[in-house]
Amino acid sequence: MIKETLLLINLHASSNSNIKDQYFINKDVVYIYIYKALFSRTRKVQVKSSVFQQEPFPYNTIKVTLILYLVMALGFILEAISFFLFQLYSKSFAELITALPGQPANVSFKQYSGYIATDDQHGRALFYYFVEAETAHPLSRPLTLWLNGGPGCSSLGFGAFMENGPFQPGENGILVKNKHSWNIESNMLYVESPIGVGFSYSNTSSNYFWNDTRTAEDNLRFIVNWFEEFPYYKDSELFLTGESYAGHYIPQLAALLVEYNKRPNIRPIKLKAIALGNPLLDLDISVLAGDYLWSHGAISDDTLLLEKTVCNDSKYLREYYHGQLSKECKDVFNRVLDEISGDVEKGDLLMPKCLSSNSAQQFRLKGLQGKIYAEIDRRTRGTIPDPCLPDRIFTYLNNPQVQKALHANTTHLPYYWDFCSGPLVYQVDNLDMDLLPLIAYLLEQNIRILLYSGDQDAKVPLTQTRLITNNLAKDLKLVPFTKYGTWYDKEQVGGWSQSFGRLRDGMNLTLLTFATVRGAAHEVPFTSPSQALTLFKSFLSGSPPPRLHE
C-alpha cells in the first residue's frame, strides 16, 4: 500500500521538461539563475552574460569551438565555486539566534535557525526555524514539526510569523509577542520545504523539480540530519502538523517514519500523532465547495445547479492543472468568482481585504468619528485577524538585517523571499493522489490523527473533511468515543468535534478526531489563535477537545 501511494513519478515526463532542457546544460549551477529569472513570479532577475542568451553561434568553426570551450570552462569553474560556497555556508548547522530585529525584551526561550543539508553532492539544503518551548525545561515538552502547503508555500512566513509562532511583525518592523504561540506547549520546528520554497535552495538546477515522493524523502532526510544537530531532542515525542497541501506532505512523511523505525540498528524516532488543518486528502471529496458556498449565501441557486450538473470543483481543478480547461468549466467558475466577488477571500469568507497604508489614508475618518474609530481599532486589535499582516511579514523577511539574524540567504539567492512564489516547479498531477489509504494505514499503526477545519474556509470546506472522517471511521470499524457536539475554549464554544477509536488493553484508545473551529479560516491559528492553541494542547495530550466543565 505504501509503495503504491508513494509512487515516484518520473520528473522528466513533466510538461516542463522542454523548458528545463532549453535552459539547463548538465547540472551546472549557473543555469539556475536563468531558471529562477523565468519562474520567480514576484521579481525579475537580470542576466547580462551572453552565455545565457539564445543568440546564434558564429558560423566560423574556430570561433564556435572556442566559445564551447569557454562555456565548458565557465561551467566547471562555477560548479567548483558553487560546491565551495555550499561547503562553506550551507552545511548543516545549529545557529543560535541572539535576537531578531525588533524582538521584544526579556524573551525567555531560545531560537535557532539555519540550513540542514539533505544532499551534499548536489548542494541541497532546507531552511528551518526552531523555537524552544517557553518553559524552564524545554526538553520536558514534545517536539512539533510544522509544514505549510501550496505546494510551494513557506512554513516560515505562514506558520511561524503569521499563525502559531512566537512573534508577528507589527508596525515599523517591531515584533509583537503572540500570546497564543504554540511554543507555550511544545518545541516548534518550522521547515521551508521542498527545495525552492522560501530560503531553501539547491546548487543543482534539476533539484527544483519536485513531487510528493521526493518531498517526503527529503523531509525524512531533514529530520534525521536535524536530530544530529540537536541530539538532545532525539528522545522527544514527535508530532507532525500542517495545513492545506500538507495533507499530502505530512501523511507521506509519517509513513516513511514508520518504515524508518523498522530498520535494524537505528534509534527509532518517537512519532506519536499527526494533525492536519483543512487538508487536501482526496480531490474527489476535499475541494467540493458548491453546497458550502450556497449555504453561506455566496452563490446563487442557478450557480449551484451548474456546479452539480456541468462542472464541480474537482473537475475544474483537474482540467486547470493539466492545461485542458474546457469552456464549460471556465464559464461555470467565472460565474462562481463573479458571485463570490474579488473582495472576498475563498479561504476566509469573513476576512476584510487589506487596505494598504496609502490607500487606507483615503478612507480614514476625521474629527470625532475618527477618534471613535481609532479607539475601536485599538480595542479590537489582537482579537480580529489583521488582513495586512502578510504585507508586513514580506517586508520583514526581506530585510537584510533580519536575514542575517536568521542565518538565512547566506548564498545571496537571486530572488526575493516570498510566501508562495519561488523557483519550485511541482508535479501538478500529484494533487490528484488519494491519501486516504495512507491515512488508514497510519491509523492501523496506532498513529493518532486530528483532522480540523476552520468553518469559514471554502477552499477545503469542513463538510468534506467531516465526510472523510466518518468514512475512515466506518471503514476501519472505529467506535465513537464522544457524541458529535461542542468543544470549548475556556468558557466559549470553540467548535464542534467527535472522536473515534478502539479498545486496547482494556482501555479506550482515541485514534481519530474531527474538529471544527468556529469562525476560523483556511489558516486556523491565524484567524482563531486561542481556539487553535486549546485544540493543539488536547492533541498533544491524546485527549478529545475539551467539553464544558471538563
Residue 384: predicted pLDDT: 63
CA pair distance 227, 235, nearest whole angstrom: 10
Q: Report whether pLDDT(70) > 90.
A: no
Under the banding of pLDDT at 50, 70 and 90, the label for residue 421 is: confident
Q: Are residues 99 and 158 in the same domain?
A: yes
Residue 77: predicted pLDDT: 55
Q: Report whether pLDDT(73) > 60.
A: no
Residue 368: predicted pLDDT: 42
CA pair distance 545, 451, nearest whole angstrom: 12
Q: Report whether pLDDT(28) > 50.
A: no
CA pair distance 494, 510, nearest whole angstrom: 20
Q: Are residues 434 and 317 in the same domain?
A: no
Q: Report whether pLDDT(443) > 70.
A: yes
Give the count of beta carbons closer than 10 Å to the beta carbon of residue 248: 27
Residue 370: predicted pLDDT: 42
Q: Are residues 74 and 114 in the same domain?
A: no
Q: Are residues 110 and 248 in the same domain?
A: yes
Whether residue 414 is contained in a domain is answered as no
Cβ 280 vs Cβ 306: under 8 Å: no
Helix intervals (H) in 112-211 = none
Quote the longest CA-to-CA distance of the chain: 87
Q: Are residues 149 and 123 in the same domain?
A: yes
Residue 505: predicted pLDDT: 79
Whether residue 315 is contained in a domain is answered as yes
* Whether residue 154 lies in the annotated active site: no
CA pair distance 426, 11, nearest whole angstrom: 9
Q: Report whether pLDDT(10) > 50.
A: no
Q: Lowest mean pLDDT of 19-23, 253-257, 429-433, name the range.
A: 19-23
Selected catalytic residue, list 244, 286, 497, 528: 244
CB proximity list for 248: less than 8 A, separation 6 or greater:
149, 151, 212, 280, 430, 431, 433, 435
Cβ 458 vs Cβ 295: under 8 Å: no
Q: Report whether pLDDT(360) > 60.
A: no
Cβ 321 vs Cβ 295: under 8 Å: no
**Helices H, strands E: what count in the chain?**
18, 17
Give the tens place of pLDDT for each residue, 193-206. 999 999 999 988 88
Cβ 52 vs Cβ 34: under 8 Å: yes
Whether residue 121 is contained in a domain is answered as yes
Cβ 250 vs Cβ 242: under 8 Å: yes
Residue 381: predicted pLDDT: 43
CA pair distance 239, 245, nearest whole angstrom: 17
Q: What is the dihedral of CA 193, 197, 198, 202, to 10 degrees?
A: 90
Whether residue 502 is contained in a domain is answered as yes
Whether residue 383 is contained in a domain is answered as no
Whether residue 394 is contained in a domain is answered as no
Cβ 32 vs Cβ 203: under 8 Å: yes
Q: Report whether pLDDT(321) > 70.
A: yes
Which region, left, alpha or beta, applies to residue 442 given φ > 0 means left and ψ of -120 to 50 means alpha? Answer: alpha
Distances (CA, A) of 69 to 21, 65, 75, 234, 265: 20, 6, 10, 50, 49
Q: In the numeric block, which cell numbers belong to residue 263?
A: 530498520
* Whether residue 17 lies in the annotated active site: no
Q: In the numeric block, which cell numbers belong to residue 265?
A: 540498528
Give the tens place of pLDDT for each residue, 461-519. 999 999 999 999 999 999 999 999 999 999 999 999 999 999 887 788 999 999 999 99
Q: Are residues 127 and 196 in the same domain?
A: yes
Whether residue 174 is contained in a domain is answered as yes
Q: Are residues 141 and 236 in the same domain?
A: yes
Percentage of the chain lying above the pLDDT 90 cut: 70
Q: Are residues 110 and 253 in the same domain?
A: yes
Selected catalytic residue, list 154, 200, 522, 528: 522
Cβ 519 vs Cβ 456: under 8 Å: yes
Domains of the chain: total: 3
Q: Are residues 265 and 318 in the same domain?
A: no
* Whether residue 244 lies in the annotated active site: yes
CA pair distance 129, 40, nearest whole angstrom: 23
Q: What 3-state class would DSSP assign to 273?
A: strand
Average pLDDT of span 362-384:
41
Q: Report whether pLDDT(87) > 80.
A: no
CA pair distance 73, 128, nearest whole angstrom: 35
Q: Are residues 219 and 312 in the same domain?
A: no
Q: In the numeric block, which cell numbers belong to residue 37?
A: 529569472
Give the tens place of pLDDT for each residue, 135-183. 999 999 999 999 999 999 999 999 999 999 999 999 888 999 999 999 9
Domain at 236, CATH number: 3.40.50.1820
Q: Are residues 150 and 209 in the same domain?
A: yes
Selected catalytic residue, list 457, 497, 499, 528: 457
Q: Which residue has the higher pLDDT, 330 or 355?
A: 330
Under the banding of pLDDT at 50, 70 and 90, the label for residue 409 is: very high
CA pair distance 546, 538, nearest whole angstrom: 7
CA pair distance 307, 325, nearest whole angstrom: 15
Question: Which amino acid, one-letter code, is at 114?
Answer: G
Distances (CA, A) of 294 to 301, 305, 315, 336, 339: 7, 10, 18, 10, 11
Whether residue 439 is contained in a domain is answered as yes
State the average pLDDT for the chain: 83
Percentage of the chain lying above the pLDDT 70 cut: 77
Pairing of strands 209-210, 425-426: parallel
Residue 383: predicted pLDDT: 52
Under the banding of pLDDT at 50, 70 and 90, the label for residue 361 is: very low
Cβ 156 vs Cβ 127: under 8 Å: yes
Residue 507: predicted pLDDT: 83
Average pLDDT of span 417-435:
93
Residue 385: predicted pLDDT: 80
Q: Are residues 143 and 234 in the same domain?
A: yes
Q: Report whether pLDDT(191) > 80.
A: yes
Domain that holds residue 145: 95-284+422-541
